[in-house]
Amino acid sequence: MGLNKVVTNADEAIKDIQSGATLMLGGFGLCGIPENCISALVRKGVNELTCISNNAGVDDFGIGLLLQKRQVKKMIASYVGENAEFERQLLSGELEVELIPQGTLATRCMAAGYGMPAVFVLAGVGTEVAEGKETRTFDGKEYLMEYAFNSDFAIVKAWKGDTQGNLIFRDTARNFNPMMAMAGKITIAEVEELVQPGELDPNFIHVPGIYVHRIFQGTDYEKRIEQRTTRKK
Amino acid sequence: MALNKEQIAQRIAKELKDGYYVNLGIGIPTLVANYIPEGVEVVLQSENGLLGMGPFPFEGDEDPDLINAGKQTITTLPGSSIFDSAMSFGMIRGGKVDLTVLGAMEVADNGDIANWKIPGKMVKGMGGAMDLVAAAKNIIVAMQHTNPKGESKLLPKCTLPLTGVHCVKKIVTDLGVFEVTEEGFRCLEYAPGVTIEEIKAKTAGRLVIADDVKEMAV
């Protein structure tokens, strides 16, 4: 069936990702990251990757696993504070890093998904982020022109999805996943629960299946918590 | 006595108005949530995609799918809503968030702020700070008046890479409350037991003392 986008597992989903590819990876911190696909990329051993993701994981989880194996050539992110190995590779010059404001990161993904070549934003005006960028003035205010991302693959994690690729996210694990799903030339979605068409209410789909090329039910989600904060009963 | 962090947060909480949508940064700003005045209803925005951030969960109720921008486990409240990062920054950029409170390494007397990078030393990134300071209508900085070396953080010009320009409206430090004006930092309040002389000595940027300057109520 032409609309069945199901692949068997993460290894199958990422099998044509080659060294040197540009990847978008959903998630905020370790929340809502595509754990299964990251592990599969580590197993496949592709390298020279450019990764677009809000964060770079921690030393031994998330994108940190790819960094440990030196599989990442360039990281495009907004905040990388939780990863000592990242900092070491950056300061030693082994890793290229482009830090960009978080809202600009989200909007450059969104622009790609919406078919817009660029957007104009205020974030970074007057700072080193503005260096070398075209600007334009609207109503007396200067804006930076920021280009849509150009990514070979987008890899996202959803809560539920159906075989046609419709996706629903849970709580703040949504974060960057929807706009990255829309932005990939090829989008791979791993889900906690894969269901048949008709089982998800069309009124509550966060990402329509048109954006998703491959989907599979993930396994063994660890869902590690970075900052466990609680109050007493 | 200079204020402690809790007292700085407590003073900033008095700036909250009923019905405000507020984004609180990491550190002292987060503590502001503990001092929301009686009779004032505010909605806390977390830029990873949540309006209506609730308190930390009870032990055992932590949910890895529900965190704030500081990656701490949190809860939702009746009336909360969840959205993606593009919409989150859309509402920030669109000027819907009434107040942003954030920390800083340096603030200049023209309202410039630096809080994301120490060249050669710290390379953590700006996160959402640049988007927030570029767009928010009202920005209050919560910070210590001096750095650990005792040097003023209220400067004529920032020395560190900037996060945003001409954006800070008010600063609450351990020594007092300051407004950013054409004339520089305008001291509105001083902490109990802190003298104007001490504030003058520890403020490197242009400083004027308000005619009606008063002791802070804490």
pLDDT digits (tens, 9 = 90+) for B102-112: 999 999 999 99
The residue segments making up the domain with residue B84 are 5-174
Rounded to whole angstroms, the Cα distance separating B32 from B42 reads: 12
Average of per-residue pLDDT across A118-126: 97
Is residue A126 less than 8 Å (CB to CB) from chain B?
yes
B191 lies in some domain: no
ipTM above 0.85, yes or no: yes
Is there a contact between A175 and B72 if contact means CB atoms under 8 Å apart? no
* Confidence band for B123, pLDDT divided at 50, 70 and 90: confident
- Reported as type and span, the H/E element at residue B88 is helix B85-93
Q: Are strands B43-46 and B21-24 parallel, antiparallel or unpaired?
A: parallel
Phi, psi dihedrals of residue B160, rounded to the nearest 5°: -90, 165
Q: How do residues A49-62 score in pLDDT, each as one tens digit?
A: 999 999 999 999 99
With beta carbons under 8 A apart, name residues in chain A contacting B68: 172
The answer, yes or no, to whether residue B80 has pLDDT greater than 90, is yes
For CA atoms B166, B168, B170, B176, give the dihedral sign. negative
Whole-number Å distance between alpha carbons of A150 and A167: 22
Q: Quick check: A86 pLDDT over 90? A: no
What are the respective helix, strand and coil percentages of chain A, to the nearest 5?
25, 30, 45
Percent residues over pLDDT 70 in chain A: 100
Would you state the structure tokens that stand for residue B130, as one six-digit string? 């640049």
d(C-alpha A154, C-alpha A118), whole Å: 19
What is the band of A104 on the pLDDT scale with cuts at 50, 70, 90? very high
Mutate to test the interface with A, among B85, B121, B166 (most CBs of A within 10 A): B85
CB contact under 8 A, A99 and B84: no
- Contact across the interface for A29 and B74, Cβ inside 8 Å: no
Of B47, B62, B85, the CB nearest to A179: B85
Q: How far is residue A15's CA from residue A153's CA, in Å, rounded to a whole number?
A: 12
pLDDT band at B166, cuts 50/70/90? very high
pLDDT at B87: 98
pLDDT band of residue B34 (cuts 50, 70, 90) is very high
Rounded to whole angstroms, the Cα distance separating A167 from A147 reads 26
User: What does the domain layout of chain A look like in residue ranges?
Assistant: 10-115+149-217
Residues of chain A with Cβ-Cβ distance to B85 below 8 Å are 28, 54, 102-103, 105-106, 175-176, 179
Tokens found for residue B30: 């987060």
For A173, the closest chain B residue by CA position comes to B65
Question: What is the per-residue pLDDT for A197?
Answer: 97
Q: What is the pLDDT of residue A85?
A: 86
Cα(A102)–Cα(A53) distance, integer angstroms: 10
List the single residue in B71, B128, B164 with the smallest CB-CB distance to A29.
B71
**Torsions phi, psi for B78 (to 5 deg):** -55, 130
B72-77 contacts at long range (C-beta below 8 A, 24 or more positions apart): B72/A227, B72/A229, B73/A225, B73/A227, B73/A228, B73/A229, B73/A230, B74/A229, B74/B46, B74/B50, B76/A171, B76/B50, B76/B52, B77/B52, B77/B53
Pairing of strands A214-217, A186-195: parallel
Q: Cβ of B89 under 8 Å from any chain A Cβ?
A: yes
Q: Is residue B95 very low, low, confident or very high in pLDDT (cuts 50, 70, 90)?
A: very high
Dist CA B28 CA A202 (whole Å) = 42
What letter would DSSP give residue B57?
P
Convert the pLDDT of each residue in B39-76 to its tens digit: 999 999 999 999 999 999 999 999 999 999 999 999 99
Q: CB of A168 within 8 Å of any CB in chain B?
A: no
B6 touches chain A (CB under 8 A): no
When CB atoms are compared, the residue of A103, A178, A228 closest to B92 is A103
Domain for residue B194, yes or no?
no
Q: How far is A86 from chain B (nearest CA, A)?
A: 10
Q: What is the pLDDT of residue A1?
A: 60
Kindly list the residues from chain B whose CB atom is less than 8 angstroms away from the CB atom of residue A75: none
Q: Which of residues A89 and A42 earns the better pLDDT score?
A: A42
Do A28 and B62 lie within an 8 Å CB cutoff?
Answer: no
Cα distances (angstroms) measured from residue B110 to each of A17, A90, B154, B178 = 49, 33, 10, 12
Whether residue B133 is predicted with pLDDT greater than 90 in this model: the reply is yes
Residue B213 in any domain: the answer is: no
CATH number of the domain at B66, please. Answer: 3.40.1080.10
Q: State residue A129 phi and psi, 5-degree precision.
A: -65, -25
Tell whether A29 lies on the interface with B, counting CB pairs under 8 A: yes
pLDDT (mean) for A166-178: 98
Longest dimension (CA), chain B: 53
Say if CB B51 and CB B80 are below 8 A apart: yes
Closest of B30, A106, A209, B173 to residue A121, by C-alpha:
A106
Asked if the structure places residue B186 within a domain, the reply is no
Give pLDDT, residue A233: 83
Domain count across chain B: 1
Per-residue pLDDT band for A87 (boundaries 50, 70, 90) equals confident
| pLDDT beyond 90 at B120 | no
User: What value does the mean pLDDT take over residues A4-19?
Assistant: 98
CATH number of A10-115+149-217: 3.40.1080.10
Size of interface A-B (CB pairs under 8 A): 180
On chain B, the residues whose CB falls within 8 A of the CB of A76 are: none
User: Each residue of A176-208: pLDDT tens digit?
Assistant: 999 999 999 999 999 999 999 999 999 999 999
Catalytic machinery residues of B: 47
Q: Is B148 on the interface with A (CB under 8 A)?
A: no
Mean pLDDT, chain B, rounded, equals 96
Q: Do residues A37 and A154 lie in contact, with contact meaning Cβ atoms separated by under 8 Å?
A: no
